[in-house]
Structure 1
């Protein structure tokens, strides 16, 4: 089988092009690169979660985390959220966004109490650990309950406690990550726990609202 020889004119043209290219490269100062073309723009989708929905949205206490609509998402909060799968390193950014989106409005001692109780309730709800402490919330606390999430792969990424429309009502807004029984890991989950302040013998206590 034979091939047709290349045209001498084509070879000459190729040589000229290579020569011009070499001269142009010599004119670029050493160590200076030519700017690369700007990448094409792509539409992006903000991650769901943390700081996407203010506590005022009031999902049912202890219910499965939900992802709010983009219409209620503060753009400033979205832009600073870490990407999904960032791990523990991204948790401080989630906490900062929560605090920036909803400034503190409770006395520090009330906030500490609510945060401790909210974290305990979420852990008990997700992993089954510590349900006996909250019989008014978990009516099955005296029964063996298969945990929905593995204790070893559960972590609270961020939490805030804020008033819920009244000085005697509050909500603890938590963002968390966990691996479910099917082995699927998901972060930036959202759960709200609601509390009312009651007074017994002159002492104020924050009581979690029972499930409905």
Structure 2
């Protein structure tokens, strides 16, 4: 059935009003947030304000959480020992001594260790500089057999020394780290020398006898 001419303009006006109303509704309703939307400026600012962490260093913490973390994970910096650089001088000797003690825990009595350290230091000085060789004629020989010392007395220094057992209760070794200037005038520190000893039992007790170095 064909609509009458009187009704056509009215229907067209109603349809136009409906379309306009629908457009207004679509423009006023905000779009749904997207899961891939970029961070807001405030969130980005918060992320950039967070403390940066570098390798080997914790980020800055505060409050009760920081106290709990510090007590649960004590610092290990003090346990790490770094040897001083060559040429450090007397100031670095304590670190060298500590490194020896940490590497080889004590396993001798205090008396034996004291006796061996005194003998080892004396033997090293006699061997390197010639001072005190008369105490050990079996090791260094008489004046006719004496070998000229290879190091000058000036500048000779024992940096560190420890005495430890050497495989059995009657054997020990004195491990020495030292510095000196050779005949050519070259100064070198952190040189290493070992002196080995055997225990000799006597009626009045025992004594430590140094062995000839090979």
Q: Shift of the alpha carbon at 1:153?
A: 1.0
- Stretches (4+) displaced over 2 A: 139-146
Partner of 1:112: 114
Higher RCO, Cα 8 Å, sep 6+: 1
3-state DSSP of counterpart to 1:80: coil
Q: Shift of the alpha carbon at 1:170?
A: 0.2
Partner of 1:153: 155
> Does the 8 Å contact 1:131/1:141 carry over to 2?
no
Q: Which runs of 5+ in 2 are unaligned?
A: 1-78
Q: 2:137 and 2:185 mapped to 1: Cα distance?
A: 29
Q: Shift of the alpha carbon at 1:144?
A: 5.3
Q: Shift of the alpha carbon at 1:140?
A: 4.4
> Does the 8 Å contact 1:161/1:173 carry over to 2?
yes
Q: Shift of the alpha carbon at 1:141?
A: 5.0
Partner of 1:81: 83
Q: 1:89 and 1:126 mapped to 2: Cα distance?
A: 23
Structure 1 length-normalised TM: 0.61
Aligned residue pairs, count: 137
Computed over aligned residues only, the root mean square deviation of the Cα atoms, in angstroms, reads: 2.0
- Output aligned runs, 1:83-102, within 5 Å: 83-102=85-104
Q: Which has the higher helix share?
A: 2
| Equivalent of residue 127 in structure 2, options 125, 129, 132 | 125
Q: Which runs of 5+ in 1 are unaligned?
A: 1-76
Partner of 1:162: 164
Q: Which has the larger radius of gyration?
A: 2
